Amino acid sequence: MNASSTSTSTTAPPPAEKGTLLVSCADRRGLVAALAQVLAGHGANIIDSDQHADPVAGQFFQRIRFDASELTSDRATLLHGIGELTARFGMKWRLNWGDSRKRVAIFVSKYDHCLIDLLARWHARELDCDIPLIVSNHEDLRSVADYFGIPFHVFPITPETKAAQEAAQIALIESAGVELIVLARYMQILSAPFIERFADRIINIHHSFLPAFKGGRPYQQAHARGVKLIGATAHYATANLDEGPIIEQDVVRCSHRDGPVDLARKGSDLEKVVLARAVRWHLEDRILVCGNKTVVFA
């Protein structure tokens, strides 16, 4: 099955009447037709569809956006029909409705460029989400949160207090109904239990073109190696530091004239753009995780 995408020309339905269905499973014949049939059978109209078959992994992935304004049943009945179909084909799936805005928590330390960029895009409605809180291990950026009217919570962390502070962070996040955590240069390593609790829902920005220069001080490492390109990588966080499924990357050229400070300046521009893309794609349900890789329907 070849990768392809289709779309239909139609008057855009209001967001409340839009649904986005994401599925993945072992590849086989008839998957596209079966999914289209179950949606059409309930009166849903497909707005656009994008699919990909990975011949190496033998896996199939699809993203379908549909108009549910003329359903012949209700949402619960449609969900039941999709559930029966996906069970028959052994599909992993999730369906999100346009009237359900994701709630995002931003974690940050002292670097402000990614935080300010995300909040500016959110304020300009480029990021369709709610941001009920910002978490930090320092007080430094409280004024930024205050400017945008977002509660700012500080959890100072030491080796002795780390477990207790993470437990308090988890309680805060869950009480606020947060669905996505964005590490906007949060200079703390999250514990494995924390990450596992929010698997595939923590996006980190690493100031390097991974897998090169993992860990700390990547710009200094890049300068020492005399590289001609530096990059930034947005990925889902896993227990293995800087090794999670990559969502987006970008690079910029550099030269022997660039010192570590120059590389950091160039890199900070990349970090903002790469992180914003990854967050937007997650919010728009464009990402499917398969093992330690992602399929991004961008």
Tell me the per-residue pLDDT of 63-114, one tens digit each, with 9 for 90 and over: 999 999 999 999 999 999 999 999 999 999 999 999 889 999 999 999 999 9
Residues 193-205 pLDDT 10s: 999 999 999 999 9
What domains are defined for the chain? Answer: 4-97 (3.30.70.260), 102-296 (3.40.50.170)
Instruction: Give the angle 128-193-111 at the CA atoms, nearest 5°.
Output: 50
242, 250, 262, 269: the catalytic one is: 242
Contact of 242 with 206, CB cutoff 8 Å: yes
211 prior amide bond cis, ω within 30: yes
Residues 163-181 pLDDT 10s: 999 999 999 999 999 999 9
Q: Using a pLDDT cut of 90, give the percent of the chain over it.
A: 78
Against a cut of 0.85, is the pTM above it?
yes
pLDDT of residue 222: 75
- Residue 260: phi and psi, rounded to 5, are -55, -35
pLDDT band at 218 (very low <50, low <70, confident <90, very high): confident
Q: Using a pLDDT cut of 70, give the percent of the chain over it.
A: 94
Contact of 47 with 18, CB cutoff 8 Å: yes
Alpha helices in the chain (DSSP H): 31-41, 75-89, 113-123, 142-148, 162-175, 192-197, 218-225, 260-283
Distance (Å, whole) CA 106 – CA 128:
15
Q: In the numeric block, which tokens belong to residue 201? A: 């829902």
242 labelled catalytic: yes
